[in-house]
Each structure stands twice: as structure tokens, then as C-alpha cells.
A = this chain, B = another copy of it.
Amino acid sequence: MVIGYAAPMAETPRAPAHIRTLPSWLLGRAAARGHRLVGEALARVGLRMMHHAVLSAVAESGPLSQAELGRGLGIDRKDMVAILDDLQGEGLVTRAPDVTDRRKNAVAVTASGRRLLRRAVRLGDAANDELTAALSPAERAQLVDLLTRIVQPGEPCAAPPHGGR
């Protein structure tokens, strides 16, 4: 039972049309490219994306607990431990017991952490420029706006509504 098709398959190697119109698919592919670009850029200062995000959050919002960091960035607690182990091991952040709540670790950025972050920000920004090279500044701003509204469907997860007690 041979299907009698005479198809020069080499002509259309791509384009499943339907899937390419789905935001979920496009988001996945675009995120993969962004992850690759930014990952390669940050690797030049020995950082990974998540490490960069944590370092940036700590440097901006002062001493934070690991749980607060995880909620704010959407990182799992398991991974947060490993990330902070790495950052602390390289002297980029400090993990000190919180004085007011001994359950928490007060994560703070060090001087060298702030210094490295400055370089990482430059590299990350450059990678993002390359990622959005096909977009005009206005289009990029629009993309950021649209994505922000997709990521936060209702309220940010940092503030759960009153009810689940």
C-alpha cells in the first residue's frame, strides 16, 4: 500500500501555519531565543539569567528574604537556594539571619555584587537590543506593555487576595 504522492518535499520545509499564529507557540520560540541570547551574554561575567534576576532584585530592593525574592521573581524555593548558594559562594550577596525574624535570611548585595551587576546589566541590555533588533523603539515599548499585561492577568502574585486563610 504505497501512497501515490509525488511531492517535492524539499520545497516547503517549514510553516505549519496554524501553530505559528498561536501566541503560546510564538511566546515559547521568542522566549527561547531571548534566553539563548541573554544567557550567552551573561555567561561572559559568569552569571545565568536567574542569578542576574536575583542579584538585580536584591540590589534594588535592599535586604530581602528568600521567600520574598522567590515570590517577586516567580522562582521556586528549591532553585532559589541553589542560586543564592552560587551568588554567596562568589561573594556577590550575603546571607545573614534576619534580626527581627529568625526564620528569614536577610539577603543583601555586596560591593563586588553591585559592581558585577553593573556589567551584567550592560550585557543584558545589549542582548535585549539584539533580541528586538527587528523592532522599532515604539514597537518594543508596545511589546513590553502587551507582555506585561499577559504576565499579570489580575493582580501580581506578590499580594494574594484576602480569602485563603
A residues apposed to B, CB below 8 Å: 1-3, 5, 7, 9, 12-35, 37-38, 49, 52-53, 56-57, 60-65, 68, 71-74, 99, 108, 121, 124-125, 127-128, 131-135, 139-140, 142-144, 146-154, 156, 158
Q: How many protomers of this protein does the assembly include?
A: 2
5 nearest A-B pairs in the assembled complex, by CB-CB distance: A24-B34, A31-B31, A26-B147, A14-B72, A16-B57
Q: Which residues of B contact A73 (CB under 8 A)?
A: 16, 19
A158 to B33, CA, bound (A): 14
Contact A150–B134 (Cβ < 8 Å): yes
Contacts of A63 in B (CB 8 A): 1, 3, 5, 7, 9
4 A-B pairs besides A24-B124, A26-B144 with CB distance below 8 A are A16-B60, A29-B74, A31-B32, A135-B150
Instruction: Assess the A13–B72 pair: CB atoms within 8 A.
Output: yes
23 A-B pairs within 8 Å (CB atoms) are namely A5-B63, A13-B68, A16-B53, A16-B73, A18-B56, A24-B34, A24-B37, A24-B124, A25-B49, A26-B147, A26-B148, A27-B27, A29-B147, A30-B147, A31-B31, A31-B32, A33-B151, A134-B150, A134-B153, A142-B146, A143-B143, A143-B147, A146-B146
